[in-house]
Structure formats: structure tokens, C-alpha cells
Amino acid sequence: MSPAATTNDPLLERAPVILRDWLTAFLPEPARWLANCLIIIVAILAVFGLLFAFLTLAERKILGRVQNRPGPNRTGWCGLLQPFADGIKMLTKEDIVPRAANPVLHFIAPVVILAASILTFAVIPYGRHLLPVELDAAVLYFFAAGAATELAVFTAGWASHNKYALLAAMRALAQLISYELPLLLSVVPVVLATGTLSTSGIVAAQSGWKWGVVPHWVVFTPWGAAAFAIFMVSALAESNRSPFDLPEAESELIAGHLTEFSGFKYALFFMAEYFAMCASSGLAVTLFLGGWHAPLPALEFIPSYVWFAVKFAALLFGFILVRATMPRLRIDQLTRFAWKFLVPLALVNLGTVAFWSLTFQWAGPLQLLRWAVALGLVAGPYVLLGRGLTTGLGTRTYRFA
């Protein structure tokens, strides 16, 4: 919301900025700046807080639909008040701290993990004029702000003074560290191709259309599609979502590093998980799906933040659908998948994008060659590595089942 709105934009496009300026117009200069910042913070917290509440409901409804049952439908109309009932339940539950636990760290862990996930919302451009903080190194900031998550997960497991919680925390760390690597490596090609680390710059680089119909989004290039796929898989794992939800694994393990947490602290961990999912989706929209740009020139009359919301919601729906359809992985399968498949694939993708950038002036039939080589560089390693992932491993035989 910091960039000044130019007056030649349509009214709806500028509406949030106009509303904010109208609210703070009566204040003197330094206080107005502070009030503007506070309004942005309150807006982010309110929007994503409510989104978290209704995302849980939407998830339960969609999961219910997939599993042929109605889902929550008793609280309010169609169960719309269910998140608030859950919130009251969580708030009024007893907060149990084990006697041997480290009370300070036991308290700090959920707070740190939530704070780290909220910080990441600051650099995502939600619309043409809706970028909370304009940073030169925004992509780096996004990952730096999330860096405390791993520390918080470990602290949660260790502060509980429970050997299962500690083991689970180590397992969660192994997962987070393994998937951090392909996540970062899948972002590098976008930075390499657009030549900037700022999120607004990356969105600006994806403006325009080829032949008036195909948008210049990163996902419509061979390396961009591969990076997008790697990013989404790693983001699933980073936010502990199914099929990578084995740190928590509610049906097999107790609750992993969350075993000794109850009441609102437990809710805070879940809030952080959903916030991380939202932040990853927001970054994916920004990096790969053209940010707030409309898919067609004729559709540009719709405000940019609506387009962002549509793409964002589609990715969140994808997250929920994956949870509804995929079985959970085992820890060895999970780490093997990261180190033997995603990381090499992401490394090869760096070479692909380098080739793509070096051949940007190729035209005519050379353009076809460029596409063929890039597609081969994406598909070849995918097929070879995918075969290597399963060679020598026959179908599993269940002897005692």
C-alpha cells in the first residue's frame, strides 16, 4: 500500500489507498505515516486472521465433500460459525505445561513460529498499489523471515522434555531442512531471469502478452513450469501439509513435536501452519503466476487485487485437494524424494534457465529449437531421475499384514 496511487488508474484500483488516506488525512505528517503503517498491519492481520478461520472451515467442508460426508454443518448457517466455536473452545481449554518442561521456551516456541510466519506477509504485492513494504531484496527477506521456523520447531520439541516430542522435532527438522533447499533453488531461476530480488520488480517483469493472448508469466516457460512444480511440492513439505504431514501425523504418531502443547498454544501452531501455506501460495502467485496481472488484456478492468485473490484461492484449493487425495509418505521416502529427485532437478533447472536467458534473441525457427532444448532439459532429467528413484525397488510385499 506504500506506492503512491497515480490518478489515471480506475477508481476501484485505487480504492484501498484512497480509503486509507481518507482515514488518516486529519493527522499531522509523522503521525500520519505511523497511522498508515498501523492500518496496513491491522489490515493484514484482520484479512489473514479471518482467512485462516474460514480456510479451516473450507478445508473441512471440501474434505467432507471428497469423502462423501457433509462436514461441519451444525454451527450457524451451513456451519459458517464453526471456526469461531473452535476458537472459543481453544481459548477456554486448560493450558497444560508439563512439570519438567522448560516453561519459558515452552511459551516462546509457538509465539516465535507464528511471528515468523506473519512477517513473511510484508513483501507480497497483493495488488497494483497494495505492497505493504517495498524492499530491494524482498525475496531474500521472505526466506530470512521464515528462517526462525525451524528453530521454533526444535525449541517446541526440546522444551517439552518428552523424548517422543524431541525425536519428532528432529524428524520435522530433517524434513524442513531437506525441502528448504529445493524451495530456494526453485526461486533462483525466476530471480536469474528477471534480474531482480524485489517482488514488485518480478511482477512487473511478467506484464504484457505474447500475440495479445499468452501472458508473459514465468509458469508459461519450460523452466518456469518445472520451477513452479518444484516450488509447490517443497512448499507443501515446508508447511507440513499432507502428503508431507508426518511431523504431526495425527493418525499414526501422537502429534509429534506438538504432543505436550494444548489449548491456544496448539492453535497457534496450526495458525502458523496455515499462515505459512498462505504465504507460500502468495509468493508462488507473485513469482510464477504473474502476481496481480490479469490473464487477458480484455479482463484488465477487474481490479488487480481481485486477480491476486483468484489465483491465490486456486492455489489454496489445490493444497486442500492434495490433502484429500494423497496418502502420507514415510520419512525415508520423504527425504529420498527431496535429495535424490527434487534437488538434482532444481540444479538442472538452473542450467535450463541460463540457456533460456542466453538465447533470448533467437528468432524464427531458432525459437523452436530453443523451446525443444529447454523442454528436453526439463523432461529428460525428470524421466531419468524418476526411474532412478525406484530402480531395484520392487513392489512392496506385506508379509505380516
Partner 1 sequence: MTAALALIALLTIGTAVAAMSRRSLLNSVLLLAGSWVGIAAFFLWAGAEFAAFAQALIYVGAISMALLFAVLLTRRSREDFAPGPAVRSRALYAMLAGAALAGVLLAAVARGSLAVAPSPVPVVTVRQLGRQLMGPHAASLLVTGVLLTVALIGAVVVAAGGGPEKPEDAP
Q: Which is nearer to partner 1, 67 or 391 (CB)?
A: 391
One of 251, 383, 390, 400 touching partner 1 (CB under 8 A): 390
Would you give the binding string for partner 1 spanning residues 47-76, x where CB under 8 A is met? Answer: ------------------------------
Pairwise CA distance, residues 53 & 363, whole Å: 50
CB-based contacts of 165: which residues, under 8 Å, 6+ apart? 156, 157, 158, 256, 257, 258, 259, 260
Q: Establish if 327 lies at the interface with partner 1 (CB under 8 A).
A: no
Least distance CB 149 / partner 1 (angstroms):
9
> What DSSP state is assigned to residue 342?
I
Residue 5 touches partner 1, criterion: CB under 8 A: no
CB 329 to partner 1: min, Å: 8
Closest CA to 167 of 158, 176, 175: 158
Per-residue x/- mask for partner 1, residues 13 to 52, rule CB under 8 A? ----------------------------------------
Comparing CB distances to partner 1, the nearer of 143 and 264 is 143
* 231 in contact with partner 1 (CB under 8 A): no
Could you tell me if 243 and 208 are in contact, meaning their C-beta atoms sit under 8 angstroms apart? no
Stretch that binds partner 1, among 40-48, 211-219, 279-287, 343-351 (CB under 8 A): 343-351
Beta bridge partners of 214: 210
CB 148 → partner 1: shortest distance, Å? Answer: 6
Task: Please state whether the peptide bond connecting residue 247 to the residue before it is cis, i.e. omega within 30 degrees of 0.
Answer: no
Nearest approach, Cβ of 286 to partner 1 (angstroms)? 17
By beta-carbon proximity to partner 1, the closer residue of 17 and 246 is: 246
In the numeric block, the cell 496481472 is attached to: 293
Instruction: Choose between 99 and 396: whose C-beta lies nearer to partner 1.
Output: 396
Q: Which of 313, 347, 373, 375 binds partner 1 (CB under 8 A)?
A: 347
CB of 163 vs partner 1, minimal distance in Å: 8
> In angstroms, what is the minimal distance from the CB of 186 to partner 1?
14
In the region spanning residues 190 to 229, those forming contacts with partner 1, defined by CB under 8 A, are 196-198
DSSP 296-308: SGGGTTS-HHHHH
Sole window of 21-29, 82-90, 138-146, 315-323 interacting with partner 1 (rule: CB under 8 A): 138-146
**Contact between 107 and partner 1 (CB under 8 A)?**
no
State which residue, 307 or 337, has the beta carbon closest to partner 1: 337
Give me the DSSP letters along 132-181: S---TTHHHHHHHHTTHHHHHHHHHHHHTT-HHHHHHHHHHHHHHHHHHH
**In the range 139-178, which residues lie near partner 1 by CB under 8 A?**
140-141, 143-148, 150-151, 154-155, 158, 161, 170, 173, 177
Residue 140 Cβ, how far from partner 1 at the closest point, in Å? 4
How far, CA to CA in Å, does 87 sit from each of 127, 162, 214, 325? 30, 27, 44, 27
Residue 338 C-beta: closest distance to partner 1, Å: 9
Q: Which of 52, 228, 307, 337 binds partner 1 (CB under 8 A)?
A: 337
CB 182 within 8 A of CB 226: no
Distance CA 352, CA 331 (A): 30
Give the Cα separation of 204 and 217 in Å (integer): 10
Instruction: Please report, for residues 179, 241, 393, the alpha-carbon distance to residue 318 in angstroms, rounded to integers and kept in the order given.
Output: 19, 12, 30
Where helices occur in 301-364 by DSSP H, the ranges are 304-325, 331-337, 343-358
The Cβ-side half-sphere exposure at 102, using a 13 Å CA radius, reads 10
Contact pick of 28, 30, 212, 392 for partner 1 (by CB under 8 A): 392
Q: Is 87 exposed, middle or buried (0-12, 13-18, 19+ CB in 10 A)?
A: middle
Instruction: Kindly list the residues in this chain that would bind partner 1 in the complex (CB under 8 A).
Output: 105, 135-137, 140-141, 143-148, 150-151, 154-155, 158, 161, 170, 173, 177, 180-181, 196-198, 332-333, 335-337, 339-340, 343-344, 347, 389-390, 392-397
